[in-house]
Structure 1
Amino acid sequence: MIRPAKLGELTDIIAITEACAAQLIKNNILQWSTSYPTISIFENDIKRKELYVMEVEGKLVGTIVISTHMDEEYVPVTWLTPSDNNLYIHRLAVHPEHQKKGYAQELMTFAENYARANNYASIRLDTFSQNKRNQLFYETRGYQKLEDIYFPEQSDDHFHCYELVL
């Protein structure tokens, strides 16, 4: 079941992203760290009603942020659609113990169905340039790779922007 996250679940949500960060580091992908994502970031996502969780058999196994807010790093990107009616995906994570079960696909399908039902023009996101698995994941779903952006507080490497026109 995918549903809006609750403030009381922040500890479980951070546990998911910390486990993902550890798995990424183990695979030499320095994408997430102790400085990102943080509890305060997730708290703001919940307050804006943008953070969703996937619950399986009473346990949280994944998260996704579905937002209408365009980060300033995205402004210079030449997107495929005008920037006035788009959704942005952030912080998609499935706990490593539950990966390769189709849960990330379900979370993305949920976001895409939400976007279509609410008549958004597109879905935009970014993924780390060193995370080839994520790039394949989005490209297989029909997302088109565009320009690169940087989040210097997160990594010295760049992030690829992607867009799916609906």
Structure 2
Amino acid sequence: MTFNQANKSDLTSIIQLLKNASIELEEKGIDQWKYWQNPPKEKIDWLKQGLLNNEFFFVTENERVIGMFRLLYEDELYWGKQNDKAGYIHSLVIKNEFKGRAFGNKIVAKIETYLLNNQVSLLRLDCVSNNKGLCSYYEKLGFKKVGEVQMPLSLNNLYEKKLN
């Protein structure tokens, strides 16, 4: 499994991955990411900024894209100003045909190793608070809920994991 940095020309592919994930969630009765089915300008701008900052990565296995994520080192939008050095995961998506093979666990573990190798000992992420299954999943990976943030489109739990 490898991580390949996305670039500006990948915007359409990223939007499609997010849209497909949104549709899959909706089909399961999970109210999350519906805005990706017809993304508002501020969400497109958020993606473009992440691409400009080299924060988006495609995850590949046997030369096939299986998913993607965004990795930031500051996240004032969701977390406010923080003093400690941390990595922030956003938009972690696994394509439906690759689910059930523990790729999510492997991706998070590989990000953790990367951060530790770069002297970053905290990993943070957020999750829509009403997606109980996903919240539980992150808690099983060792993340602790440390707060909540009300965003314009959702109430999100804030999770943190100390890396060692």
Same fold? TM cut 0.5: yes
From 68, 72, 80, the equivalent of 2:77 is 72
The alignment's C-alpha RMSD in Å is 2.1
Counterpart of 2:125 in structure 1 is: 125
CA distance in 2, matches of 1:75, 1:10: 26
- Pair 1:108-2:112 in alignment: no
Runs of 4+ in structure 1 deviating by more than 6 angstroms, as ranges, are none
Counterpart of 1:3 in structure 2 is: 4
- Pair 1:53-2:58 in alignment: yes
Normalising by structure 2, we get a TM-score of 0.85
More helix by share: 2
Query: After superposition, what is the alpha-carbon deviation per residue over 1:21-80, rounded to whole angstroms, capped at 9, x for unaligned?
Result: 00111222222123369444323212211111112333322111110122234128xxxx
Counterpart of 1:62 in structure 2 is: 67
CA distance in 1, matches of 2:47, 2:62: 23
Query: After superposition, what is the alpha-carbon deviation per residue over 1:68-123, rounded to whole angstroms, capped at 9, x for unaligned?
Result: 122234128xxxxx633111111111122221122212221121111111111311
- Aligned length in residues: 158
- Pair 1:94-2:94 in alignment: yes
CA contact (8 A) 1:68 1:86 kept: yes
CA contact (8 A) 2:7 2:54 kept: no
CA distance in 1, matches of 2:148, 2:46: 23
CA distance in 1, matches of 2:121, 2:3: 23
Give the aligned residue type for 2:12.
Answer: T
Counterpart of 1:24 in structure 2 is: 25
Gaps of 5+ in 1: 77-81
CA distance in 2, matches of 1:83, 1:126: 18
Deviation at 1:4, TM superposition (A): 1.1
Gaps of 5+ in 2: none
SS in 2 for 1:29: coil
SS in 1 for 2:54: coil
Give the aligned residue type for 1:161.
Answer: L
CA distance in 1, matches of 2:78, 2:45: 20
Normalising by structure 1, we get a TM-score of 0.84
Counterpart of 1:79 in structure 2 is: none
Counterpart of 1:160 in structure 2 is: 157
CA contact (8 A) 1:16 1:61 kept: no
CA distance in 2, matches of 1:110, 1:15: 24
Counterpart of 1:35 in structure 2 is: 39
SS in 2 for 1:72: helix
Taking a change above 3 Å as real, the CA distance of residues 39 and 72 of structure 1, as seen in their structure-2 partners, is closer
